[in-house]
Structure 1
C-alpha cells in the first residue's frame, strides 16, 4: 500500500497540502483546469453530433471522475469487465455498457446481482455458444439480459465477421427467451494502415447498415436500439456516421471514448491533431491533465539523472515516459528541454540530460504518460490538484 493510501485510510489530511512539499512521491496528479476542459469539450462534441456519451471507465476506474462525467451530461459509463461494472455501480453509476463479452459463471453471477439491484446493464455477444450459456444462466434466475451484437473486422478483436455469422447470431438470440437484443456495437481502434480513414468510415457505415437491417426485420426488443463505437482516436469518424436525423429518431447513437478525460502529450495529442485536420472548424482543444511526479535521487555520471519512478508507477506503452518540468518548492516550474527517458526499470527511470542541466538531488520531475490508460491502474488513488499544485481531492481508483 502506498503512503498516500495509508494516509487516506487513517484519515490524515492531504487535501489542501502541497504536492511538492507535503505528499510522499512518486504520486500521480490530475490538473483540475484541463480535466474540467476535457470533460466539457467531449460532452459538447457528442451533443453537437446528436450522440450520447458513455465514456470508457476502464481508462481511469476512478468513480470521482465518473461522477464528473455523468454530471456533465454523460448517458452512462462503459466498462470492460463484470468486476469493473460492480465497482461503478457501487459508486452510483446506474447505466453500465459493458463493451465486452460476458463469459464465466462467476462473472454472470456478478451481473445478475447488479441487474437484480436495478442496474441498467448490457454487454456484447458474438457467438451462439455465448448466447446459449447466458440464456441458460439468466433464464434459471428469471432475469433478462440485454445484449448488443458486436461486429468485428478481419484480423481485429472479437465480433462476427460476415453476414452468415450475423444471421446465425440473430437467430440464436431470437431463440433465447432470457436474452434481449438491444443494439449493435463495434470497436474501430484496431483498424489501421495506409487507408485507415476510409476503412473506418466503411466500418461505421456497416454498423449503421446492420442496425437498419435489424430494425427493419423487427429483431430488437428495444424500440430505440443502441448503436455504439468510438474510442479516443477516431471518434470524429464514428460521430460523422452516426450524425443522421433518421438514425437519432429511431435509435440511440453512443460514443465511448475514454482517454480524452486526461489526454496526453503524444499519442492522443497526435490523434487530436488529425481530427482537427479533418475538421478545421472544430473549436477548442483537449489538454494534457495527468502527470506523475517523482524525485531526482541520483546524478551518478555526466548526462544521467536517476529518478525515483518506474514501471510500477507509470505506463511505458506505447512510449517511454515524457519528462515535462523540473519543480522546486517556491520556484517557478522549469521546462525540461533536451531531456529524454533512456530506460525505465521497476522503480527507477534513467533520464538522459544535457551535461549543463540544472538538476539537483531532491528536485522533482513531472512526467507525462503517452496512452494514460495504463498509468491509472498502478495507483490506489490519484490526486486532483490546482495550478499551484495544491491537492484539491484524493480520488480512489477501483481496479
Structure 2
C-alpha cells in the first residue's frame, strides 16, 4: 500500500487529492453532481405525485447514501433481508420497510431486537403459515409486528395470487394479537407480457382496489394504511395509479425505487428513456453517477487493450461501456479519445477492449472510466466507494455494509 495520496484496497481508503494520481485502481466512483441531481429529482417526483419515498437500500447498502436520501426528504429506507435491516439501523436508519417475507427464527430475532431498540419496522406476508409463525414468535417477545400483505401475480415471485387469498390472509392476521395489518405491498417488476405497460397499469389498479376494499371492511389496524410498490423502471406508472382519487386522504402511498440514486449506463438508462417517452413533461430525468475507473495493463497485439478490470470489480449482466480515458497524473479537463473502443469480453480480473484501427496515443497505465448496467451488481463488489467532484478530486469515501 502506498503511503501517500489516496489508496483503495477494496476496503482501506486514505483521503487524498485526485483520482488520476495516488489512487490504487480499479476504484468504484460516485460523481457528486449527478448524485445530487438524482436525489433531488426523484424526491421532487414523489412529492409531486402525493407519494412518500422509501428508496430500496439493497442497491447500495451504503449508509452515507441512505442519509443523503433521508436528508433529501425520504420517508424511510427499504431493505430485503434482516441482516440488511440490522446494518441500516446500526447506521441510524429508524424507519425500515423490509419488502420481503420475514422467515426463520434467527431472522425474526434480529428484527425483534431492532423493534425493542426503537425501530419502526414493516415486513410483508403472503401465507397463513408465515403469519402464524410470526404471531407466535412476536407474542412470546411481547412485541407487535407491523405487516403488509404482499399482492403478487400468477407466475411471478412471492405474494397472494388473487383477491380472495388477500382477504383470507387479512382474517388470519386479525386473529394474531401480536401482528398489526398496516397496508399492502406489491412489486410490478414481475409483470411481463407483450404489452408490459398495460399489464403494470392493470396490476397497480388491482393493488389500489384491494386496498380500498380492505379499508372499507375495517381490516387495517391504522389510519392511513400504507400502499407501496415501484422499482426503478416503472415508478411513473405506479405513481400515477397511486395518485388517483381512491387513495387520496385515506392511504399513505410509498414508492420504493433504489437504482435511481446513481442510475446506470445500461438497463436503467433504457428504462429512463421509456419513462421520458411516456412522460415528456418530466424534465431531463436521471443521470448516471456511478463509474468504475481502471488502467490499461497490456497492449499485447494491434487492436487490443487489456484493462485491469474484471467481474470482481463491475457488474456484467451487460458488458461495461467505455466512457472516457485519461493519462495517469493528467487532468480531467484533457480526456483522451475512446472513439470506437468496445468491450468484447470480461474475465475475473481482465477486460478485453477492441481498439479501432486509428487508435492513437494509447499507453500502459492510461486510466479508463467504465459505465455499468444494473448498479446493484457493482456496489456489492466494493467495501468502499469514492465520492468525487467534477475535477475528480476525492471528497469522501463511503463504506458499504453488504
Q: Shorter-chain TM-score: what band?
A: over 0.9
SS at match of 1:64: helix
SS at match of 1:176: coil
1:372 maps to 2:375: yes
- Alpha-carbon distance in 1 for matches of 2:34, 2:8: 26
What residue in structure 2 maps to residue 199 of structure 1? Answer: 199
Shift of 1:164: 2.8
> Is the CA contact 1:315–1:375 (under 8 Å) kept in the aligned structure 2?
yes
Shift of 1:334: 3.0
SS at match of 1:365: strand
SS at match of 2:309: coil
SS at match of 1:110: helix
- Alpha-carbon distance in 2 for matches of 1:274, 1:3: 37
Shift of 1:327: 1.3
Mean Cα deviation higher: 349-358 or 145-154:
349-358
Aligned residues, how many?
393
What residue in structure 2 maps to residue 384 of structure 1? Answer: 387
- Alpha-carbon distance in 2 for matches of 1:124, 1:152: 11
SS at match of 1:21: coil
- Alpha-carbon distance in 2 for matches of 1:272, 1:5: 31
Aligned counterpart in structure 2 of residue 348 of structure 1, from 339, 347, 350: 350
- Alpha-carbon distance in 1 for matches of 2:148, 2:300: 56
Q: Normalized against structure 2, the TM-score is what?
A: 0.95
Q: Normalized against structure 1, the TM-score is what?
A: 0.96
SS at match of 1:19: coil
Shift of 1:330: 2.2
Residues 330/291 of structure 1: CA separation in 2 closer, same or farther (3 Å cut): same
Shift of 1:335: 4.7
What residue in structure 2 maps to residue 327 of structure 1? Answer: 326
> Is the CA contact 1:41–1:284 (under 8 Å) kept in the aligned structure 2?
no
Shift of 1:5: 5.2
Residues 45/84 of structure 1: CA separation in 2 closer, same or farther (3 Å cut): same
Residues 109/335 of structure 1: CA separation in 2 closer, same or farther (3 Å cut): farther
* Deviation string, structure 1 residues 32-57 (Cα, Å, up to 9, x no partner): 00000000000000000000000000
* Deviation string, structure 1 residues 155-177 (Cα, Å, up to 9, x no partner): 11100001232222112111111
SS at match of 1:305: strand
Segments ≥4 residues shifted beyond 4 Å: none
> Is the CA contact 2:58–2:79 (under 8 Å) kept in the aligned structure 1?
yes
Residues 201/386 of structure 1: CA separation in 2 closer, same or farther (3 Å cut): same
What residue in structure 2 maps to residue 183 of structure 1? Answer: 183
> Is the CA contact 2:152–2:187 (under 8 Å) kept in the aligned structure 1?
yes
* Deviation string, structure 1 residues 79-137 (Cα, Å, up to 9, x no partner): 00011111111111110000000001111000000000000000000000110111111
- Alpha-carbon distance in 2 for matches of 1:109, 1:241: 36
What residue in structure 1 maps to residue 23 of structure 2? Answer: 23
> Is the CA contact 1:236–1:275 (under 8 Å) kept in the aligned structure 2?
yes
Question: What is the root-mean-square deviation in Å for CA atoms of aligned residues?
Answer: 1.4
SS at match of 1:201: helix
- Alpha-carbon distance in 1 for matches of 2:111, 2:31: 34
Structure 2: give runs of 5+ residues left out of the alignment.
Answer: 2-6
What residue in structure 2 maps to residue 219 of structure 1? Answer: 219
SS at match of 2:295: strand
